[in-house]
């Protein structure tokens, strides 16, 4: 497979899953920065969703050299979980910044 292979429109990025994490040691390279948890209320009467407290979790990571030759270095990444329902009754139970 090459980066211009029409069967693989994402080219080199499609090969990422072929590299086991223990080979590139990504676990030791991923250093989290300070993240944040946000709380927000949402409702949608059209779909029968009552007013509900949702949370968003955002966790950025320091730039890192992944060791993968087919992507530029350093790489940056982040994890963002949205629409989490944590079962908290009120917003005062949220994590303080």
What's the rounded Cα separation, in Å, for the pair 32 and 57?
13
Three-state SS for 46? Answer: helix
Name the pTM for this structure. 0.60
Q: Which tens digits make up the pLDDT trace of 74-91?
A: 999 999 999 999 887 665
Residue percentage of the chain with pLDDT more than 90? 44
Residue 11 region by backbone torsions, left for phi larger than 0, else alpha for psi between -120 and 50, else beta: left
Three-state SS for 95? Answer: coil
Per DSSP, the residues of 18-60 read GS-HHHHTHHHH--B---EEEEEEEEEGGGTEEEEEEEEEEEE
């Amino acid at each position: 497979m090459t980066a211009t292979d029409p069967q693989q429109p994402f080219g080199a990025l499609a090969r990422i899953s072929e590299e086991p994490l223990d080979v590139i040691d990504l676990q030791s390279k991923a250093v989290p920065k300070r993240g944040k948890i946000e709380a927000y209320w949402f409702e949608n009467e059209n779909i029968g969703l009552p007013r509900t407290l949702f949370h968003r979790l955002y966790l950025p990571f320091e730039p890192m050299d992944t060791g993968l030759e087919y992507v530029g270095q350093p790489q940056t990444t982040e994890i963002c979980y949205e629409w989490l329902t944590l079962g908290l009754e009120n917003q005062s139970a949220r994590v303080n910044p």
